[in-house]
Chains A and B, each alone.
Chain A
């Protein structure tokens, strides 16, 4: 083997080793911190059933706060959530929860209509309501999200909750790039459960 081909071979091996290291670094960089436990709560779903923090256990949950008559960011958020709901049809470990911040308007009946309008046809996406104080408390103290001027001052975050009911990460529910990160994190969590 002459000097040149040896040099090329060495460079290729070196590049391959470097790339392997970078790819491994990138793969392990998706670790999610455990932020805190979701505190206990007891709300009602669009079907009138009880939904508490226990329903978060054993599933990976994507959760947001919205209201049905909101014209601002909510339609974008709900649209993004609906896409996720569709795409994860076959991934039974993942569920979606939307909590209204306008319970005076959003009763069970309205939420049910809203769910239907967004293509919800199974129990993987639940819409929750309760009294305003309980919602405000859960949002502000449980999820550490802005809740001072409800309904309009609601946060646009999607919250990722792991099967132990722990908050793992927040995402901008209106931003395409953030949702892409969320998908990736979701997939990693599902892989973690399945392995």
Chain B
């Protein structure tokens, strides 16, 4: 592995960790843990006691646990930003002429800056629901871009990886539809989450089951899309693994993993509805969605490589 690929691998892993920590901030209710941005209570290192608080900030907002949860998200975010910066530099160093690599890494880097800015908007608007959704959506796009560039770099050095494989042609639209449906599903999911919170604010002390029922159509569309996604990923698995000649290991593994994870998602989703809105399950429900999207990206890139190899 060259330095670029090593680094983009590390960066991708860190970004996935960051998405997890971001979700943790959300389920722990720590989004406003630091009421200002980029500093936390006017300090670069969050305060550890009340008397370190500056006068102009209401001490009611100070909760040391929430402050550190939120701040660790910011610190990790800054670290990921740095890692993506290095990855971008390396992309230009090794693959100056490979536009699909340089551009996707550059886009990832640019979007990371936007993410930081969105973080500040979130604090300013006291967690505006649409901004929360956008904050997650961009993170997913970033991780997909990173995966794509790493895999393309891999194929540049391993030309023959998909040479032996033959997948059905004209499948681009299926990947497109699956990705869009997945992203729509994530948006719906965060809207359900945000909607729950808004209804809960207007109707404190109602239990989650009742709140979920008040959400009505959102929840049904989310469930319906879930089944459509499992159908689509099942179809992809059938075509790319069963109806292909010599599918590559990466194709078999990503297709199978997608199918397995989609089923896991349906189970977790139903648990959330029928048991209770359990924060840990919510967190993994969101995180696994980001895994599925990444795997679809891998699956598509492998398919695309095979098509190019046989042109």
Contact B280 A19 (CB under 8 A): yes
Q: Is A117 an interface residue (CB 8 A)?
A: no
Q: Is A87 an interface residue (CB 8 A)?
A: yes
CB distance from B238 to the nearest CB of A (A): 23
Contact B58 A178 (CB under 8 A): yes
Say which residue of B59, B61, B206, B280 sits within 8 Å of A177 (CB atoms). B61
Q: Is A120 an interface residue (CB 8 A)?
A: no
Contact A178 B60 (CB under 8 A): yes
In angstroms, Cα B204 to Cα A191, docked, is: 10
Q: Write the chain B residue with the least CB distance to A174.
A: B58
Say which residue of B29, B30, B60 sits within 8 Å of A172 (CB atoms). B60
Given contacts A26-B66, A90-B205, A177-B35, contact A184 B29 (CB under 8 A): yes
Contact A19 B203 (CB under 8 A): no
Contact B63 A30 (CB under 8 A): yes
Stretch in B20-28, B38-46, B158-166, B297-305 with 4+ CB within 8 Å of A = B20-28
Given contacts A29-B66, A171-B58, contact A187 B283 (CB under 8 A): no
Question: In the complex, what residues of B have CB within 8 A of residue A184's CB?
Answer: 29
Question: In the complex, what residues of A have CB within 8 A of residue B205's CB?
Answer: 90-91, 187, 190-191, 194
Q: Is A16 an interface residue (CB 8 A)?
A: yes
Q: Is B279 an interface residue (CB 8 A)?
A: yes
Contact A176 B126 (CB under 8 A): yes
Digitize A69-93: 1 where CB-to-B-CB distance is under 8 Å, 0 elsewhere. Answer: 0000000000000000001101100
Question: In the complex, what residues of A have CB within 8 A of residue B30's CB?
Answer: 26
Number of residues on chain B facing chain A (CB within 8 A): 28
Contact A171 B60 (CB under 8 A): yes
Say which residue of B24, B61, B280 sits within 8 Å of A181 (CB atoms). B61
Say which residue of B63, B64, B204 sits within 8 Å of A187 (CB atoms). B204
Contact A25 B65 (CB under 8 A): yes
CB distance from B199 to the nearest CB of A (A): 11
Q: Is A9 an interface residue (CB 8 A)?
A: no
Q: Is A111 an interface residue (CB 8 A)?
A: no
Contact A170 B29 (CB under 8 A): no
Q: Write the chain B residue with the least CB distance to A176.
A: B126
Digitize A5-46: 1 where CB-to-B-CB distance is under 8 Å, 0 elsewhere. Answer: 000000000011001101101110110000000000000000
CB distance from B261 to the nearest CB of A (A): 12
Contact B58 A29 (CB under 8 A): no
Given contacts A171-B58, A177-B32, A180-B32, contact A87 B280 (CB under 8 A): no
Contact A23 B28 (CB under 8 A): yes
CB distance from A133 to the nearest CB of B (A): 29
Interface SS of chain A:
helix
Question: In the complex, what residues of A have CB within 8 A of residue B64's CB?
Answer: 29
Q: Is B69 an interface residue (CB 8 A)?
A: yes
Question: In the complex, what residues of A have CB within 8 A of residue B29's CB?
Answer: 26, 184
CB distance from B64 to the nearest CB of A (A): 7
Interface centre among B20, B29, B58 (most CB of A within 10 A): B58
Digitize A151-191: 1 where CB-to-B-CB distance is under 8 Å, 0 elsewhere. Answer: 00000000000000000011110011110111110110011
In angstroms, Cα B29 to Cα A181, docked, is: 10
CB distance from A159 to the nearest CB of B (A): 10
Contact B201 A182 (CB under 8 A): no
Given contacts A90-B203, A171-B60, contact A180 B126 (CB under 8 A): yes
Question: In the complex, what residues of A have CB within 8 A of residue B157's CB?
Answer: none
Given contacts A87-B203, A177-B32, A180-B126, contact A26 B60 (CB under 8 A): no
Question: In the complex, what residues of A have CB within 8 A of residue B311's CB?
Answer: none
CB distance from B260 to the nearest CB of A (A): 11
Q: Which of B181-235 contact A (CB under 8 A)?
A: 201-206
Question: In the complex, what residues of B have CB within 8 A of residue A172's CB?
Answer: 58, 60
Give 9 closest A-B pairs by Cβ, nearest first.
A29-B65, A26-B28, A172-B58, A171-B60, A178-B58, A176-B126, A178-B60, A23-B279, A25-B65
28 residue pairs of the A-B complex, CB under 8 angstroms, read A15-B20, A19-B20, A19-B24, A20-B280, A22-B69, A23-B28, A25-B65, A26-B66, A26-B69, A29-B63, A29-B66, A87-B203, A87-B204, A88-B204, A90-B205, A91-B205, A170-B59, A170-B60, A171-B58, A172-B60, A176-B126, A177-B32, A178-B58, A178-B60, A180-B32, A181-B61, A183-B201, A187-B204
List residues of A whose CB falls within 8 A of some B CB. Answer: 15-16, 19-20, 22-23, 25-27, 29-30, 87-88, 90-91, 169-172, 175-178, 180-184, 186-187, 190-191, 194
List residues of B whose CB falls within 8 A of some A CB. Answer: 20, 24, 27-30, 32, 35, 58-61, 63-66, 69, 126, 201-206, 279-280, 283-284
